[in-house]
A and B are shown apart, each in its own frame.
Chain A
Amino acid sequence: MSAGVLHAFIIVMALLTLFPFLWMAGTSLKSPEEVFRPGVHLIPANVTWGNYGTALRKVPLWRFLLNGTIVAGGVLALQLLVIIPAAFAFARIEFPGRDLMFVLVLAALVVPGYVTSVPNFLLLSGLRLTNTYWALVLPFVGSAFGIFLLRQFFRQIPGEILDAALIDGCNTVRLLWNVLLPLVRPAIAAFAVFSVVTHWNDFFWPLIVIQSTHLYTPPAGIAYFADSDGGANWGAVMAASGIIITPLIIMFVAARRQFIESLAHVSLKG
């Protein structure tokens, strides 16, 4: 295959991949009349920003983004609080039953979210927590994947560093906080990207536990807007879709390597 054919193939595939994004952006800048005009024209004849105003008036998009931030941030903060000590204990503290407990972590790792959805919904609804942020956060705090990932990194820290810190008289908590956390920061960053993307994008769970529109996370919010208003106002729906995907796209462009690393390579076991 010649270099020309190779590049032509890659460029055609790249344009097909990008097409939905371009079509979304183009449509969001068209007037309603132009959206309904027959024919294929990607670039709007007259660029108008009105669809963005309409979208923001019709649905609380900023609120959806705020909800997404609260939920993804809350999940990550609580996950780190719970998994860092556990991962450290599994890697570095010897206690009876440790290996058996770790097998349980691996068992928790393979339980898919759908399978636990009915009982977890019943539990949260029994605690009167459905339709609150708690319902979107609590089921995900115990991340078996996070423990699994961080444990690997804690195991790689040379024993001498631990011994030196212990001789200095660090207690376990201070040791973990001051000496070990800086060393496992890359693993925490990788886990953070994975966790934030997963919970920001999650669509199934908010659909089940949230009834009030103002508590919707971005994926549930955009689907709600498309269902309630779609046929009549595609320009505004495309503008809203653009607003909804922007935060993660900015993060992706800013930290491309970290993103690909976290979502593809690190999450292999997740």
Chain B
Amino acid sequence: MSSSLAGQAALPGARLRRQANLTRYLVGYLFILPAFIFFVVFKFGAVAYLIPLSLADWRLGSTTRAFVGVGNYRKLIVSPEFWNALSNTGIYTVAVGGLSIALGLVLALALRRAGRLQGLYQAVFFLPVAATMSAMAVVWRFIFDTNIGVLNALMRAAGMEPLSWLQDNRLAMAAVVLVGVWSNMGYTMVLFLAGLTTISRDLHEAAAIDGASAPRQFWSITWPLLSPVTLFVVVIMTLRSVQAFDSIKVLTDGGPLGATQVLSHLLYRVGFQYFDTGFASAISVVFFALLAGVTLLQMRAERLVHYQ
């Protein structure tokens, strides 16, 4: 193509202009075509294929595939495993989300006043976000080890009884939450730091001159002005925690007896270890609906938050 688009537009005649338009349309469609081929195959096609899959009784590798209607969904509703995974996902999300948001905010506020070392500290707290989670979860598994783990060594040194962190069904959830908070608090901290820089220092100076104490300044200035950022961090952390998989798979593999089995892990187990494709597809549909619900909730909440 040697003729320029600008040159074509300048030529007289409706026919030529139409031709120039057609060329432009063609270029536009050609440019988006490769991306759409991948979307259609691996995103839209995949989601669409889930529906018939979820309505069939089919084990991977088996030759029979019977239509069972809503059978898999009925199975889901009465499955204690599903409700257990749903409740574990809720507990994990609230605990990891809540704690990493609180700690991230405290760290961000502290780092704002850390002076020249702020950059270094920021790198330290962000390090777990940059490190490969599955490898660090292996390290944590060693730290939690009942017999030679350093955590129990510390407990013994302090005169306490050692605990079976990952094998006790009450402690296992606390252990995976701890690792989740460790790996996320640097992330929320960075988001809060970015939010804090948008709040003018003049406001704090004016408040200080008027004699407002530091807590008073926080609750009257920082917290309300930070609310859009906070909402945003809540949404991001919810989506991240609901989809957590790596650390749980490595630390407990969903155990003991399902005590840490979350939805992503149940999907993995049912779909790719039991190969119950129909049931796994039904779980996927519900998982999708749940995440879509969180996104919708976010849009609703955004309108309620105080913007300034």
Contact = CB atoms under 8 A, between A and B. Distances in A.
B277 A118 contact: yes
Interface in A130-145: 138-139, 141-142, 144
Given A17-B127, A115-B288, A203 B245 contact: yes
Interface in A1-53: 1, 3, 6-7, 9-10, 13-14, 16-18, 20-21, 23-24, 27, 35-36, 38-40
Contacts of B138: 222-223, 226, 230, 237, 241
Contact of B245 (A95, A204, A264): A204
Contacts of A201: 132-134, 246
A95 B160 CA distance: 71
A148 B30 CA distance: 18
A86 B32 contact: yes
Given A83-B35, A241-B136, A248-B132, A7 B47 contact: no
Contacts of A59: none
Interface in B89-136: 103, 107, 110-111, 113-114, 119, 121-136
Contacts of A13: 103, 107, 125
A230 B123 CA distance: 30
Tell me the interface secondary structure of chain A in the complex: helix
Of listed A17, A248, A256, A259, residue having the most chain B CB within 10 A: A17
A157 interface: no
Interface string B40-78: 011111110110010000001000000000000000000
A81 interface: yes
A180 interface: no
Interface of B (DSSP majority class): helix
Interface in A149-190: 163, 166-172
B4 A167 contact: yes
Interface residues of B, number: 99
A245 B136 contact: yes
Given A204-B245, A218-B135, A248-B131, A142 B39 contact: yes
B153 A10 contact: no
Given A110-B292, A116-B47, A82 B38 contact: yes
Given A27-B142, A120-B42, A237-B138, A265 B154 contact: no
Contacts of A122: 49, 53, 60, 277
B2 to A, nearest CB: 7
Nearest to B42: A139
Given A95-B24, A110-B295, A23 B268 contact: no
Contacts of B128: 17, 20
Contacts of A14: 121, 124-125
B223 interface: no
A111 B44 CA distance: 9
Interface in B1-38: 1-7, 24-25, 27-32, 34-38
Interface in A213-270: 218-220, 222-223, 226, 230, 234, 237-238, 241, 244-245, 248-249, 251-253, 256, 259-260, 263-265, 268
A227 to B, nearest CB: 9
A170 B4 contact: yes
A108 B132 contact: no
A88 interface: yes
Contacts of B82: none
B28 to A, nearest CB: 3
A265 B271 CA distance: 34
A62 B42 CA distance: 31
B125 A108 contact: no
Given A10-B111, A163-B6, A17 B124 contact: yes
A81 B287 contact: no
B86 interface: no
A40 B157 contact: yes
A245 B121 contact: no
A58 B42 CA distance: 36
Nearest to A84: B31
Contacts of B25: 95-96
Contacts of B36: 86, 101, 104, 142
B139 A23 contact: yes
12 contacts: A6-B113, A10-B111, A17-B185, A110-B295, A111-B46, A111-B288, A117-B271, A204-B268, A207-B268, A222-B135, A226-B141, A265-B191
Interface of B: 1-7, 24-25, 27-32, 34-39, 41-47, 49-50, 53, 60, 103, 107, 110-111, 113-114, 119, 121-143, 145, 148, 150, 153-154, 156-157, 182, 185-187, 190-191, 194, 214, 232, 236, 243, 245-246, 249-250, 264, 267-268, 271-272, 277, 280-281, 284-285, 287-288, 291-292, 295
Closest 7 CB pairs of A and B: A142-B38, A95-B28, A89-B31, A219-B134, A85-B31, A116-B46, A119-B46
Given A82-B35, A201-B246, 4 more contacts: A10-B111, A13-B107, A39-B153, A167-B4
